[in-house]
């Protein structure tokens, strides 16, 4: 832990998550003297409480589900299958701990100074005067909740830098009438480390986080109810994909309450009571409200930028809708998808990247933004990121992955099927590798632009969807056409052949369907 004062750096990065540590490493590679200030664990929420450990849990769940439901068909016999819940949870924590130590090694390798503590920016760059950052001792709970950190009243040290990058990430939202208590009203962090498996769980919000935990607990036998205000689960995905996943989960017995909003949450001695009502025409129909009961309720309704205690309002850093404002704005249909961005804030010398500046709240976007920001600070001219070519992945089973536009978004832009685009779909139930591996739930859907055949959007539900999307992401990034996908030989037998078949289908040339 650094204890020196009045130390100057070329760059101070605040936050050690996917944006922060990646940006710090790239800056060091470019010859900068770098410090990274992190008040909790290196790796941020993604590595410690999100992306990585949750995938360890989901891997366990998938194996358990397959054995319990498909053993006979696979020719497997056993006396009794049990679950050691503590080991399920501890394996996930072990994965996070291993990778956390890996980042510390990378910092040492690249001569990056890791400063433990809470950072507070007290001034931006003014003429010859550098940015100034105070470091405070802090006690932080590793949690998604909005509980503020315990921060010392006086700074431990003061450091300066020519430039500062804010990469402090995001924090989960709760509801005005349902505040996190870490026990019965929980967030993703608590859901990842529950000491005992609940017999029943209500998940509010059917986005990626909500559906991943819904799948995880349902696989182990927890009675799961999902409440979603919009008409379908995974509402940002293509409607055909959402409907297909709903069909799978309803068949498995999961209770999906779409087009319903939550109006009240009460804790009881034994759990929670959640009142929900149909959501129609922009409002709740209270006359048809009903009360659900469960041991716990998981809130998965979205996130906001995390910058508590990072700066005083007098500093002049502008925020908008609970995020720090930069020269980045979410791409609008019909606009230049790849503008030249610096990620500057409203204060000279201070930049911000990742979840703290707004959607899409994805680790891979945060890392790329950090690299672009650092390279521009260094005077380079990197290729801008095209925000319409960002893969989105949900790791429930079956997996869901997509890139580009949904058919719904194209229709909202005024584009019409048969006139402006065509669709090619291919179901896994007809696919050789899927049948052989007993993964026949799902499909690949490709939206082909007319008349050139460019890939406007690609959507996959099924086994390995989060891996299969890479080919289509690259194809869209390079402005490849379905004709070029069609003449690309795909190895047999693979799941990748399903991408080939969907591409053929978009031109009316489907072979195996």
pLDDT one-digit tens code per residue, 17-46: 999 999 999 999 999 999 999 998 899 888
The DSSP call for residue 82 is -
- Residue 279: per-residue pLDDT: 96
d(CA 54, CA 272): 24
How many residues are given for the chain?
513
Mapping DSSP onto H, E and C, the string for 411-452 reads HHCCCCECCCEEEEEEEHHHCHHHHHCCCCCCEEEEEEECCC
- The segment with the largest mean pLDDT, out of 49-53, 68-72, 245-249, is 245-249
To the nearest 10°, the Cα dihedral for 375, 378, 380, 386? 30
- How many CA atoms does the CB half-sphere of 246 hold within 13 Å? 20
Over residues 430-487, the pLDDT tens digits come to: 999 999 999 999 999 999 999 999 999 999 999 999 999 999 999 999 999 999 999 9
Q: DSSP alpha helices (H): ranges in 444-481?
A: 465-477
d(CA 214, CA 415): 35
* Residue range 185-299 in CATH 3.50.50.60: yes
Mean pLDDT across 152-173:
94
146 against 92, higher pLDDT: 92
Over residues 107-125, the pLDDT tens digits come to: 999 999 999 999 999 999 9
- Residue 331: per-residue pLDDT: 60
Q: Inter-axis angle of helices 20-29 and 85-109, to 10 degrees? A: 20
Cα 309-312-317 angle, rounded to 5 deg: 105
Q: Nearest-CA neighbor of 16 among 308, 366, 378, 359?
A: 366
Residue 4 has pLDDT above 60, yes or no: no
Q: Inter-axis angle of helices 208-219 and 239-251, to 10 degrees? A: 20
Strands 34-38 and 113-116: parallel
With bands split at pLDDT 50, 70 and 90, how would you rate the model's confidence at 80?
confident
> By the 8 A CB rule, do 460 and 237 touch?
no
The fold of 398-505 is Enolase-like; domain 1 (3.30.390)
- Residue 140: per-residue pLDDT: 75
Is position 232 annotated as part of the catalytic site?
A: no
Mean pLDDT across 405-431:
96
Over residues 320-348, the pLDDT tens digits come to: 999 999 998 766 555 555 677 899 999 99
pTM over 0.85, yes/no: yes
Question: In the CATH hierarchy, which top-level class contains the domain 7-47+96-170+303-377?
Answer: alpha beta
d(CA 34, CA 347): 20
- Percent pLDDT > 90 in the chain is 85
d(CA 141, CA 83): 29
Q: Where are the domains of the chain?
A: 7-47+96-170+303-377, 185-299, 398-505
Q: Do domains 7-47+96-170+303-377 and 185-299 have the same CATH topology?
A: yes
Residue in 492, 496, 500, 512 annotated catalytic: 492
Classified as helix, coil or strand, 47 is: helix
Residue spans of beta strands (DSSP E) within 205-347: 223-227, 255-257, 260-267, 272-280, 283-284, 290-294, 296-299, 303-305, 319-320, 323-324
């Amino acid at each position: 832990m650094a204890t020196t004062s009045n130390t100057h750096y070329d760059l101070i990065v605040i936050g050690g998550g996917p944006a922060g540590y990646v940006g710090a490493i790239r800056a060091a590679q470019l010859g900068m003297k770098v410090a990274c200030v992190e008040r909790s664990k290196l790796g941020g929420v993604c590595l410690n409480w999100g992306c990585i450990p949750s995938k360890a849990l989901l891997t366990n769940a998938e194996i358990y589900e397959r054995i319990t439901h498909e053993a006979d068909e696979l020719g497997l016999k056993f006396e009794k299958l049990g679950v050691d819940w503590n080991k399920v949870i501890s394996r996930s924590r072990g994965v996070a701990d291993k990778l956390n130590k890996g980042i510390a090694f990378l910092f040492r390798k690249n001569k990056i100074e890791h400063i433990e503590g809470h950072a507070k920016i007290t001034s931006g760059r003014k003429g010859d005067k550098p940015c100034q950052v105070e470091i405070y001792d802090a006690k932080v709970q590793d949690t998604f909740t909005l509980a503020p950190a315990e921060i010392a009243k006086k700074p431990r040290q003061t450091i300066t830098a020519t430039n500062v990058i804010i990469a402090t990430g995001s924090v989960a939202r709760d509801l005005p009438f349902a505040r996190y208590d870490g026990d019965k009203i929980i967030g993703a962090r608590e859901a990842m480390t529950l000491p005992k498996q609940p017999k029943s769980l209500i998940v509010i919000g059917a986005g990626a986080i909500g559906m991943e935990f819904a799948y995880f607990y349902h696989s182990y036998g927890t009675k799961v109810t999902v409440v979603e205000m919009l008409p379908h689960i995974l509402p940002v995905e293509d409607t055909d994909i959402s409907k297909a996943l709903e069909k799978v989960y309803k068949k498995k017995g999961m209770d999906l309450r779409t087009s319903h909003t939550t109006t009240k949450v009460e804790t009881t001695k034994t759990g929670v009571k959640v009142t929900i009502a149909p959501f129609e025409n922009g409002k709740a129909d209270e006359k048809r409200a009903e009360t659900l009961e469960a041991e716990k309720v998981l809130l998965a309704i979205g996130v906001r930028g995390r910058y508590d205690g990072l700066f005083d309002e007098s500093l002049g850093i502008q925020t908008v809708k609970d995020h720090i404002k930069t020269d980045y704005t979410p791409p609008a249909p019909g606009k230049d998808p790849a503008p030249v961005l610096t990620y500057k804030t409203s204060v000279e010398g201070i930049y911000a990247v990742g979840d703290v500046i707004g959607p899409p709240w994805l680790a891979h976007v945060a890392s790329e933004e950090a690299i672009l920001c650092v390279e521009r600070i260094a005077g380079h001219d990197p290729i801008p990121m095209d925000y319409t070519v960002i893969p989105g992945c949900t790791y429930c089973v079956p997996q869901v992955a997509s890139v580009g536009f949904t058919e719904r978004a194209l229709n909202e832009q005024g584009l019409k099927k048969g006139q402006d685009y065509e669709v090619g779909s291919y179901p896994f139930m007809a696919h050789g590798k899927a049948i052989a591996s007993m993964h026949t739930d799902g499909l690949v859907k490709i939206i082909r632009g007319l008349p050139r055949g460019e890939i406007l959007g690609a959507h996959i539900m099924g086994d390995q969807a989060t891996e299969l999307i890479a080919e289509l992401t690259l194809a869209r990034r390079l402005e490849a056409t379905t004709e070029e996908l069609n003449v690309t030989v795909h190895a047999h037998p693979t799941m990748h052949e399903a991408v080939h078949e969907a591409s053929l289908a978009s031109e009316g040339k489907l072979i195996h369907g």
